[in-house]
Amino acid sequence: MPDIKTLSGRVVAAHGRHYRVALDATGQTRHCYTRGKKTGLAVGDRVLVLPEGQQEGVITQTLPRRNLFYRSDAQRSKLFAANIDQLLLILAAEPVFSDDLLGRALVAAGSAGIDARIVLNKADLPGTAAARQRLAIPEALGVPVLALSALDAAQVQRQLAPLLRNRCTLLLGQSGMGKSTLLNALAPEARAATQSHSEALGAGRHTTTDTRLYVLPGGGDLIDSPGFQAFGLQHLSPHDIEQGFPEFAPAIAQCRFYNCTHRHEPGCGVLAAVADGRIAAERHALYQRILAENEAASRY
């Protein structure tokens, strides 16, 4: 039973160990922190808060999560968001996006049971057709790709906004892909935050180091997270990693050994499928990289 004095709410911003929680009853946001060693809260988490004064509160409990999207290396985990309905990956022809990071983000989503979609931004650039070809593998796996230009706010409203309505979406992208531009086109609240931030700093550029949830005017939430350069998946077991490669499933059913790791075993269905092109060699290579990385880390 929740303490009678606690109030329920949702984490709408996270910066280190400081959180902003929007209370369900009033919509008021409070500056909250956790006591002791309790960490590991993510934007989107539902929590109970013990109010302190008019503006602050202590987070006393995290309610069970529907899902959690995160990355992790040997040293630490980076929680992107909890309780999300979909992942929106933003890519562009320039700067060149990393197939490896894209693949890893899709594996993280797949293993957490989260739908993903891709926005190929900067569709006005001539390299867009070639960039789209590089997305043939995720597209074949059923990840929808929408090409648009974030600079064209009307197009964003027409083509992307309806896909975000009444859903909680995590926006993810390497820096330079146009994530801030897209966010500003979607959420007036974000535009206001960028402006006030720039004014306060006397500078033109807003750099996000924290994660924030924005309520969209048409209904739905958009969570903006900082850009990233690495995407470790150390929290995934070999079984979880397999789950992140759903196209392997029919081939795995053909493996001779029940504990086949799909790397070198005789009678491996996955290796046979890679050999005859049913599974993309790039995907199998990514699978092996993730597995090898996690094994190396577990030796320390």
Footprint of ligand GDP on this chain (CB under 6 A)?
121-122, 124-125, 149-151, 173, 175-181, 227
We find the least distance from the C-beta atom of residue 298 to ligand GDP, in angstroms, to be: 34
Question: Which is closer to ligand GDP, CB of 94 or CB of 100?
Answer: 94
In the numeric block, the tokens 């059923």 are attached to 142
- Closer by beta carbon to ligand GDP, 50 or else 161: 161
Residue type, 180: S
Q: How far is the CB of 88 from ligand GDP (least distance, A)?
A: 12
Q: Indicate the residue among 129 and 292 with the shorter CB distance to ligand GDP.
A: 129
**How buried is 35 (Cβ within 10 angstroms: 0-12 exposed, 13-18 middle, 19+ buried)?**
exposed
- Cα distance between residue 140 and residue 132, in whole Å: 12
Least distance in angstroms from the C-beta of 214 to ligand GDP: 14
Q: How far is the CB of 148 from ligand GDP (least distance, A)?
A: 7
State how far the Cα of 232 lies from the Cα of 290, in Å rounded to an integer: 8
Q: Are 288 and 143 in contact (CB under 8 A)?
A: no
> Which CB atom, from 59 or from 135, has the smaller least distance to ligand GDP?
135
Residue (12 or 150) nearer to ligand GDP, CB: 150
Q: Quick check: 11 and 44 in contact, CB under 8 A?
A: yes
Element (H, E) at 139: helix 136-140
Judged by CB, which is closer to ligand GDP: 97, or 245?
97
> Quick one: residue 278, left, alpha or beta (phi over 0 = left, psi -120 to 50 = alpha)?
alpha
Virtual torsion, Cα 38, 42, 48, 50, nearest 10 deg: 60
Least distance in angstroms from the C-beta of 129 to ligand GDP: 15
Residue recorded with tokens 């909890």:
82
Which residue number, 149 or 294, has a Cβ lying nearer to ligand GDP?
Answer: 149
Distances (CA, A) of 45 to 8, 42, 70, 231, 258: 11, 6, 13, 22, 37
116 DSSP assignment: E
